[in-house]
């Protein structure tokens, strides 16, 4: 009889204890799986958002931060110079501010975050209906793309006229309202589901702020040529304008990973360690109880010629069966729990609708299996020590007397 067969029969002979062990490992393993998903989920999801925007590099002034940015003067000439670099495919300008919006004919109003965009393939929204922004040279009312939250609040759809009045720092403005025509409704990649946002051309942005022309910008959004790569384009831009800050997507991700996401990594590390400790204690306790209840059987097997190695192999296979079955059940169970937790966490205020806390990747599954395998191996250590050091004759005599 092989050690695996003996382990299987031992487990099958005590179904209640086996089911208890498998259920315990499954629950604890599901929590471990969720913590492993959480440790890299935000980083992977945020990386997907950065890449989905079509932006490879972000250029900003030295002052301020990624959230609160200073203005870059003479931004149009800067964008032209950047676009002329051999490693750059396209450069676009972005401005941001706040405005009060009122829909014509209904009086529905809302405060919106207003962005001005110079156009091109680089953008941070996905159209749901309507068309994209037309070229800045087009005449008529400034075009407007509304987020779903703004469109629902204003009850405005494609073709509606919305009056926009600038709202600097949340204070009232004496500037007249400008009539803008809604050309599209979309989902903004970095906005929450109920965010009220709008984007127009730079010309429209300047008109809403009472200017005929505005040459400033807060960000230059750069798309690198595929054959050159973002790293080469970032180096070229940094050499062109060393007075500006240049961030590739990898550098932006690194900054957020070191600051904003470190909290979740720490929680994940602590809870993963605790779940592994609980798994170790559960399996070690059950195997130790099993060995203690079968001391006479183990001694008899040793007397019949079973070597210490075969006894150890039997207990290792028994641990592998319990941890392996529980670990396999932990994957779908942990996935279901992660799905529910992700929906709860994404409902937090100001959380981007496209951002996820739990993201599945093959390395997470592999790491989960590896950690459970190591835990099961260590948990079998003490029971193996008891079984292999068991004195045969005294144990058999004690069993017969008792």
Q: Which of 206, 204, 200, 208 has the alpha carbon at shortest distance from 166?
A: 208
Mean pLDDT of 103-126: 82
Q: Taking Cα atoms as reference points, which of 115, 110, 111, 136 lies closest to residue 125?
A: 115
CA 208/CA 180 separation, integer angstroms: 9
Instruction: Reply yes or no on whether the pLDDT at 172 is more than 60.
Output: no
| The pLDDT value given to residue 324 | 85
| DSSP structural state of residue 197 | E
What number is the average pLDDT over the span 372-381?
Answer: 84
Average pLDDT over residues 20-42: 86
For residues 311 and 198, what is the distance between their CA atoms, to the nearest angstrom? 71
Going by pLDDT thresholds of 50, 70 and 90, the confidence category of residue 396 is: low
List C-alpha distances in Å: 104 to 83, 98, 116, 221, 309: 39, 19, 22, 33, 85
CA distance 100 to 78: 31
For the chain, give every domain's residue range.
3-49+260-401, 62-243
**Residue indicated by tokens 């130790």:** 288
Q: What is the dihedral of CA 214, 220, 225, 231, to 10 degrees?
A: 160
Name beta bridge partners: 184: 130, 145
Strands 143-147 and 178-188: parallel
Q: Looking at residue 182, what is its pLDDT?
A: 92
Crossing angle between the packed helical segments 262-293 and 381-388, to the nearest 10 degrees: 20
Give the pair of three-digit tokens for residue 71. Answer: 């203005």
pLDDT at position 145: 93
Determine the pLDDT at residue 173. Answer: 59
Banded model confidence at residue 402, pLDDT cuts 50, 70, 90: low
Residue 319 pLDDT > 60: yes
Q: How confident is the model at residue 184 (pLDDT cuts 50, 70, 90)?
A: very high
Query: Per residue in 257-268, pLDDT tens?
Result: 776 667 777 887
Instruction: Summarize pLDDT for 82-108 with one digit per residue, the tens.
Output: 999 999 999 989 888 888 888 877 778
Q: What percent of the chain has pLDDT over 70?
A: 89
The number of beta carbons lying within 10 Å of the beta carbon of residue 63 is 10
Task: Assign 170 a pLDDT band (cuts: 50, 70, 90).
Answer: low
**Residue 169 has what pLDDT?**
58
Q: What are phi and psi of 188, to 5 degrees?
A: -85, 130
The larger pLDDT score, comparing residue 284 to residue 263, is at 284
Angle, in degrees to the nearest 10, between helices 262-293 and 362-379: 40
What distance, in Å, lies between the first and last C-alpha atoms of the chain? 28
- pLDDT for 399: 62
Mean pLDDT for the stretch of residues 67-94: 87
Q: Tell me the CA distances in angstroms from 218 to 3, 9, 106, 130, 152, one per residue in order.
A: 69, 70, 34, 27, 28
Q: Are the beta carbons of 264 and 363 closer than 8 angstroms? A: no
Distance from C-alpha of 123 to C-alpha of 252, rounded to nearest angstrom: 17
Q: In angstroms, rounded to a whole number, what is the distance separating the alpha carbons of residues 312 and 377? A: 11
Highest mean pLDDT among 232-246, 256-270, 283-297, 338-352: 232-246
* pTM of the full structure: 0.74
Please give the average per-residue pLDDT across 238-261, as a whole number: 82
For residues 143 and 151, what is the distance between their CA atoms, to the nearest angstrom?
14
Q: What is the mean pLDDT of the chain?
A: 82
- Per-residue pLDDT band for 181 (boundaries 50, 70, 90) equals very high
Residue 142 scores a pLDDT above 80: yes
| Dihedrals phi, psi of 147, to nearest 5 degrees | -75, 165
Residue 282 confidence class, pLDDT cut points 50, 70, 90: confident
Say yes or no to pLDDT of 171 above 60: no
Mean pLDDT of 345-360: 80
Residue 49 has pLDDT above 90, yes or no: no
């Amino acid at each position: 009889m092989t050690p695996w067969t003996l382990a299987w029969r031992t487990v099958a002979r005590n179904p209640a204890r086996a089911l208890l062990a498998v259920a315990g490992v499954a629950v604890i393993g599901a929590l471990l799986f969720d913590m492993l998903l959480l440790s890299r989920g935000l980083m992977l999801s945020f990386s997907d958002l950065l890449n989905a925007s079509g932006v490879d590099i972000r250029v900003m002034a030295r002052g301020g931060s990624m959230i609160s940015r200073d203005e870059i003067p003479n931004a149009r000439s800067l964008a032209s110079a950047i676009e002329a670099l051999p490693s750059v495919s396209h450069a676009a300008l972005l401005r941001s501010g706040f405005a009060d919006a009122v829909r014509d004919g209904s009086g529905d109003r809302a405060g919106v975050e207003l962005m001005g965009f110079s156009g091109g393939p680089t953008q941070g929204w996905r159209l749901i209906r309507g068309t994209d922004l037309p070229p800045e040279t087009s005449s008529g009312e400034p075009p407007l793309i509304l987020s779903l939250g703004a469109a629902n609040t204003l009850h405005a759809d494609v073709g509606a006229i919305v009056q926009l009045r600038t709202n600097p720092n949340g204070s009232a403005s004496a500037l007249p309202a400008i009539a803008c025509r809604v050309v599209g409704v979309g989902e903004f990649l970095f906005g929450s589901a109920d965010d009220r946002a709008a984007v127009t051309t730079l010309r429209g942005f300047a008109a809403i702020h009472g200017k005929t022309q505005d040459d400033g910008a807060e960000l230059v959004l750069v798309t690198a040529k595929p054959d050159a790569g973002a790293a080469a384009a970032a180096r070229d831009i940094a050499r062109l304008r060393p007075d500006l800050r240049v961030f590739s997507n990898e550098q932006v991700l690194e900054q957020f990973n070191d600051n904003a996401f470190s909290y979740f990594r720490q929680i994940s590390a602590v809870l993963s360690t605790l779940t592994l400790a609980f798994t170790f204690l559960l399996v070690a306790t059950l195997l130790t109880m099993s060995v203690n209840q079968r001391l006479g059987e183990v001694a008899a097997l040793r007397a019949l010629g079973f070597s210490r190695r075969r006894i150890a192999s039997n207990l290792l296979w028994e641990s592998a069966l319990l941890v392996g079955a529980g670990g396999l059940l932990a994957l779908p169970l942990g996935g279901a729990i992660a799905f529910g937790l992700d929906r709860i966490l994404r409902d937090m205020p100001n959380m981007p609708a496209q951002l996820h806390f739990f993201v599945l990747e093959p390395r997470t599954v592999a790491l989960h299996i590896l950690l459970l395998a190591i835990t099961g191996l260590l948990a079998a250590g003490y029971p193996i020590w008891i079984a292999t050091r068991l004195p045969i004759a005294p144990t058999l005599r004690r069993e017969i007397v008792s």
